[in-house]
Structure 1
Amino acid sequence: MPRVSEAHLAARRQQILDAAVRCFTRNGFHQTSMQDVIKEADLSVGAFYRYFKSKNELIMAIAGTKISEVTGILDHLLTLDPMPPLPVFLDQVISQVEATLAADQTVRIAVQVWGEATHDDEVAEVVRDVYGRIRERMVRIAERAKDSGQLPADADAFGVGAAIFGLIQGYILQRILVGSVNQQIYVEGVRSLLGKV
């Protein structure tokens, strides 16, 4: 029996994730069965379960991919010298949110996952890990902002980082639940809240 290439395995895994995104976006997490995703992916049951054993595993994989995109942006911005103003960080992450909404709607799944995390310990653990990585970077951004004089020297970096992270989640919720939110106006509003930066 010929050995399956790594590229084939990766492509098949992505095929499943793309199918799951379409199903979860169209029908919601709870209304989507594993059979729905298998059918959407156009695979046999055996082929599917070689890659994923549960909806939670699918969610973890989708979340991990999207969070890696966001952390990549933040990691790049953290390397810049001089330190960009805090609203630039926010604007870049929101731009990624908008790009994701335009491409595949996975941001909508994030809101479903937040709700699921309130009563599913496995999902909650993933959410804590995934979003903890973003918040940790926001704290590092706040520390650099203090060092560059954008924030008062006595500002609590953890508190500022958590607040910036909350602004991103707030944008996502408004975008998904309320409707159109103007990114530029939102970021300018944050700039006004921060005062001088």
Structure 2
Amino acid sequence: MSRNGRSFYIPLMPKVSAAHRERRRRQILDAALACFLRKGLHETSMQDIFGESGLSAGAVYRYFPSKDELIKAITAETSAAMNATFVPLITQDPPAPLPAVIAAIGPRIAELAREGGPLRLAPQAWALVLSEPGLGDHARETMAMLRDLWIAYAARLAETGALPPGTDHVAVGKTMFALMHGFLLQTVVLGDITPDELATGVGALPRPDLRAARG
């Protein structure tokens, strides 16, 4: 490029690849998760996350403009990880029976709720519904979306005859959702329940004689 007969060079900023952006995003999310687990959602500051990630404030804010956005991103990733296990089971034809679903979901919850796992933040996230209007709405919407999947699963069980005629599938879905949250809470708070115990307990619950119900 020239001006008034003189040539000059304008350096170009190097292009950042999608892979680099994803690595940097992952670096920030991992740092935020470590801070949240160590100090809690409320007590963690963005300065903590800058220090944990080893990145400047500008580098972090380029990806996540606030702590709230980091919390939402971790929540979304965790929900997606759960759905990747659950959704194929409930959308197959016919839907997987409840024992098979529990056998798959229990270990996945335990894995994500292990020491350092994102599901260990779940009780704190639930509390946001009561104390933080903005994040509380996000937590409520996420919980409702997950519960709707269980209700949809119960509806499919009813449609395929796996539940007695006239069963309130909404009540069944809400109850199964509550069961999963109870397992998660015991895993995180008490630490003395295993996926095998969950599967054994569900398998031992009394079930109606479907043949009699249909007859």
Does structure 1 residue 29 correspond to structure 2 residue 49?
Answer: no
2:187 maps to 1:175: yes
For the 8 Å contact 2:113–2:188, the answer to whether it is kept is no
Equivalent of 1:66, from 78, 83, 87?
Answer: 78
3-state SS in 1 of match to 2:125: helix
In structure 2, give the amino acid aligned to 1:168. M
Quick check: which one's helix share is greater?
Answer: 1
Structure 2 CA distance for aligned equivalents of residues 194 and 89 of structure 1: 17
User: TM-score, with normalisation over the residues of structure 2?
Assistant: 0.85
Partner in structure 1 of residue 65 of structure 2: 53
Work out which of the residue numbers 73, 92, 95 in structure 2 matches 1:80: 92
2:135 aligns to what SS in structure 1? helix
Note if 1:131 corresponds to 2:143.
Answer: yes
1:155 aligned onto 2:167? yes
TM-score (norm 1): 0.92
Residue 124 of structure 1 aligns to which amino acid in structure 2? G
The residue aligned with 1:9 is 21
Please, what is the CA RMSD of the aligned residues?
A: 1.8
Tell me, which stretches of 5 or more residues in structure 1 are unaligned?
Answer: none
The answer to whether the aligner puts 1:164 opposite 2:152 as a matched pair is: no
What do residues 31-77 of structure 1 show as CA deviations (whole Å, max 9, x unaligned)?
21111011101100111111112221111000100101111222211
Partner of 2:155: 143
- Asked which structure has the greater RCO (Cα within 8 Å, sep 6+), the reply is 1
Q: Pick the structure with greater CA Rg.
A: 2
Structure 1 equivalent of residue 5 of structure 2: none
Across the two proteins, how many residue pairs are aligned to each other? 197
Gaps of at least 5 residues in structure 2 are 1-12, 210-215
> C-alpha distance in 1, partners of 2:167/2:135?
33
Range 141-150 or range 166-175, more displaced: 141-150
